[in-house]
Structure 1
């Protein structure tokens, strides 16, 4: 296989069946840009390994070495953190194939929480806004099932195709935090604290992006590309992404520039609130 090719659907299905022989692996799902049909020749292939404890990490490591060479390694659950809890960064025929663990019982629990409109952002390395726990359900909704020993993963995917109305309402209600962050950022202007203002703006924008997706009934599962995706939603504030760029571009140690950045953000929060109200009608 050429270095710039991709694993075929048949090869991915065969790999999923091998993974299902590992004790503890309950299902395998293709995620990321490949599942959405948005991948490029240089895109990684993301495979979600849905497991139940105890996961046989030794056997999983053997499979990894069989398909990716003797240096391939997988982690025990928990090594990467509490929410993205482990996996392996592999090279199969020179292609990047990422195995990412998902505790199936935890995924099912967070789907039930999302159905009730309960969510939170959790501390997790690699996720500066925080891991949105409803992201588990979004991954299942947006992914493609490659292997499913019990049928649970496929059943959950069918349910997650319908975005929970209660979650929509809760994410929009969460815009109170974006408004609160505007006030916090303004208090930092006299100190010329551009780093603190930037932090407030980043979280504010993330809260707005999630609220817009919630109001539109669209899953948002990562901070990467969230601003651009929010700007493309029908009914989003005009030039949403451009205005976010303008806000961050204004941040420096000059109080006038910091005030400009916060003013831009404050207008976005107001317009996001109005846009979400319209979407939910």
Structure 2
């Protein structure tokens, strides 16, 4: 299968507008399972020959152009090759480079994106390059960018770590709704608060966070995570309660865990 993927990468790189192709996801990081997808980041610049991509994808495969899958995930295609899922994911290289410049200055965005309940955190673009494997790179641009992103920017680390304050704010406003048994609002605040803390823990460890999926399992093992961080988060999210008393107690426990985490990040 690897040979097929490398051949496909070369074919994609020959499509007008495509600059290069990287293997991403769990397979690039060596964390895949036998049935894991093959994720191919298709980095393009300027006008992209969508007809060329469609011809390469073959009959019956829908290729979504830039913006077709939302403002951040962008576009691409889902294919089956020898019964295995192969995903093409479009990335505007100019935009990726702008995000990387922001990261070096400690700036980032969190955008609304279907499939990302905590939002799409812009440093993911740089992290995808840092963790990816270059498969096709005729101009050498992806290779150079990968070398640059191998070092986590200290300004970004500081910004994301400092942003942990939002978790406490979210729980403060959740407390006001807990007494009214507003389970939806409290649950949403809990989820985002823990997501913010996970992002901060990743950054503190100089580790790129690419997705909410599986992030807690990694974060709970990081040096700054308080004891039993993962089990405590899971327990609070699994059963926040439905009565005012239960929700108030849940928010109180979440506040304590947040205080511990923020203190550890600052230590």
Q: By the TM > 0.5 criterion, same fold?
A: yes
Paired residues for 1:88-107 under 5 Å: 88-107=77-96
Whole-angstrom distance in 1 between the partners of 2:165 and 2:217: 22
1:76 alignment counterpart: 65
What is the TM-score when the length of structure 2 is the normalising length? 0.97
Please state whether the residue corresponding to 2:189 is helix, strand or coil: helix
Whole-angstrom distance in 1 between the partners of 2:56 and 2:144: 27
1:57 alignment counterpart: 50
Displacement, 1:249? 2.6
Matched, 1:43 2:60: no
1:130 alignment counterpart: 119
Paired residues for 1:1-281 under 5 Å: 7-8=1-2, 10-65=3-58, 70-278=59-267
Please state whether the residue corresponding to 1:272 is helix, strand or coil: helix
Contact 2:179/2:248 (CA < 8 Å) preserved in 1? no
Contact 1:189/1:255 (CA < 8 Å) preserved in 2? yes
Please state whether the residue corresponding to 2:157 is helix, strand or coil: helix
After superposition, give the CA deviation of every residue in 1:191-225 in whole Å (9 maximum; x if it has no partner).
Answer: 10011000000110010000011111011011111
Displacement, 1:190? 1.8
Contact 2:74/2:90 (CA < 8 Å) preserved in 1? yes
Contact 1:250/1:260 (CA < 8 Å) preserved in 2? no
Please state whether the residue corresponding to 2:178 is helix, strand or coil: coil
Alignment length, in residue pairs?
267
Displacement, 1:239? 1.1
Whole-angstrom distance in 2 between the partners of 1:79 and 1:243: 38
After superposition, give the CA deviation of every residue in 1:86-126 in whole Å (9 maximum; x if it has no partner).
Answer: 00011111110000000000000000000100012101111
Whole-angstrom distance in 2 between the partners of 1:54 and 1:112: 23
Contact 1:247/1:260 (CA < 8 Å) preserved in 2? no
Displacement, 1:259? 1.6
1:4 alignment counterpart: none
Contact 2:241/2:250 (CA < 8 Å) preserved in 1? no
Whole-angstrom distance in 2 between the partners of 1:12 and 1:266: 47
Displacement, 1:73? 2.0
Whole-angstrom distance in 2 between the partners of 1:250 and 1:261: 8
Contact 2:15/2:49 (CA < 8 Å) preserved in 1? yes
Please state whether the residue corresponding to 1:14 is helix, strand or coil: helix
In structure 1, the gaps of 5 or more residues are: 1-6
Whole-angstrom distance in 2 between the partners of 1:167 and 1:97: 32
In structure 2, the gaps of 5 or more residues are: none
What is the TM-score when the length of structure 1 is the normalising length? 0.93
Please state whether the residue corresponding to 1:232 is helix, strand or coil: coil
